[in-house]
Amino acid sequence: MNNNLNFFKISKFFLYLAPFSTAIVTASTLFPFIVGKYVFFRAAVDLALIFFLLGLLLQDKLSVMGSRLSAKLKSPLVIAVSIFVLIFILSGFFGVNPSNSFWSNFERGEGGIQIIHLYVFFLLLAVVFREEKDWLKLFWVLIAAAALMILYGAAAGLKMSGFIGGAFGGSGFRFSGSIGNPAYVATYLVFSLFYACYLLFGADRRESDKNSRGIIFYWEKLKTLKGIILMFFMILFFVFFWLAATRGAFVGLLAAIVAGTAYFVYGRKNLRKWFFGGVVVLLLAVGTMVYFKDTAFVKSIPGSRVFDISFSAQTWQHRTYMWKIAYDGFKERPLLGWGPENFINIFDRHFNVQYFNPTEGFGAWFDRAHSIYFDYLAETGILGLSSYLGIFAVFYWQLFKRRDDQRRQSALQNALIFAIPVAYLVQGIVLFDVLPTYLNVFSVLAFASYKFQKMD
């Protein structure tokens, strides 16, 4: 059997290669931070699929992979993702511009063709990555890709020849890396922090029992070479997360920390008072910085933009205009929406003149609702949004359903798995998805599928 794994190993190689798409920048194209990424990602996924199918046809004599594929397709989380993808495609087919819904455009590179590639990526990960070590390698790959993203942005920030981006210290500077947009850099690095934390603290419960107890065990891990390297990456990711100065991701990270900690202390009465005390201190600290956001001291802090949280802010007002437009569009086509990539039609039809500000040159043209919820509601209808939220409903249902079986895993591991979707779903209130975000979301969902199956 070992001699018959070559095609599957090649498929796995291309799956490991796909996350590096986030580091690709094609300066020669009209949209340098977009085009190269989706071309690279799709090519890697296509090659992974080709070699996987060759393996099924020519080398899977014992139907090992075929059986795994069949079993995965019957698992609740994979079914939930499959339903969402199917409705996404159907909404495009029955939308106002099926061609645009499927092929998208040069600027965005999304649409049906992208969601199909993401689904194949998700499914292949769930089937081909059979052991914990496969996933740990993937997390290292995702960390390496994030480091390359930062390295590109640092080179651009230092104004090195051939690199595109804002210079460090410039007016209103926000770090955009190789992604090109600070908001997505921040969300991307939240996932990167999750991978680093999981590798550092995600030990099997039996491993921690074998070595020592509680915090002493994790403290010993920090002093190893692996621990030092991961701590370096965690600090690196947080520094550049902060330099991206994105409020939505900042609030999402805070929500994830609170949610993950709450999950961790659940059932541990001796820790509850510390948890509530910590939450109070955190809220007071952030609230104080928000209250004094206009003072010279707060403004002097790099990345202090994250504290400029106000419902009267122009960016918030613009988003509420877009959400109203999206909702008006939804009411016209409530079931399957207008089709992916067709929000521009809704925007034109329900244009709000308050959104147009000629003096600032902002808000005259938009093709997204700037919220994953309103985007899916308007473009894929109530069925699309429900199926999308259904993915996370199934995620948490499976997580809590197997709570008793999770005792063999570390409490921190469970808390991390619980927390990461919280960060994503909170930041998604004010931001839409792009490839770097999707790639991480589908990677985490595939990993969750593995973990839930392992619990069975």
What is the DSSP-derived secondary structure letter of residue 175? Answer: -
Is the CB of residue 110 less than 8 Å from the CB of residue 341? yes
Give me the pLDDT at residue 212, please. 44
Burial 385-397 (b: 16+ CB within 10 A, else e): bbbbbbbbebbee
User: What tokens were used for 52?
Assistant: 């996987």
Domain boundaries, the chain: 131-455
Q: Cβ–Cβ contacts within 10 Å for residue 207, how many?
A: 12
Structure confidence at residue 264 (pLDDT): 87
Helix and strand numbers (H, E) in the chain are: 19, 0
* Parts of the chain with a pLDDT under 50: 1-2, 4, 206, 208-212, 364
DSSP assignments along 69-110, one per residue: HHHHHTSHHHHHHHHHHHHHHHHHHTSS-HHHHHH--TTT--
Q: State residue 221's pLDDT score.
A: 66
Could you tell me if residue 214 is left (phi over 0), alpha (psi between -120 and 50 degrees) or otherwise beta?
left
Task: Please give the pLDDT value at position 167.
Answer: 87
Rounded to whole angstroms, what are the CA distances from 333 to 94, 261, 365? Answer: 10, 41, 22
Going by C-alpha positions, the residue among 417, 444, 449 that lies closest to residue 126 is: 449
Q: CA 436 to CA 32: how far, in whole Å?
A: 14
CA of residue 289 relative to chain centroid, distance:
27
| Cβ proximity of 326 and 375 under 8 Å | yes
Cα–Cα dist 303/300, whole Å? 9
Joined together, the tokens standing for residue 393 give: 């409903």
pLDDT digits (tens, 9 = 90+) for 369-413: 999 999 999 999 999 999 999 999 999 999 988 665 555 567 788
Of 183, 253, 242, 255, the C-alpha closest to 432 is 183
pLDDT of 409: 61
Identify whether the C-beta of residue 172 lies closer than 8 Å to the C-beta of residue 183: no
Which pLDDT does position 5 carry in this prediction?
57
Pairwise CA distance, residues 13 & 444, whole Å: 18
- From residue 223, give the alpha-carbon distance in Å to each of 206, 217, 230: 20, 10, 11
Q: Is-contact 417 399, C-beta < 8 A?
A: yes
pTM tops 0.85: yes
- The answer to whether 43 and 153 are in contact (CB under 8 A) is no
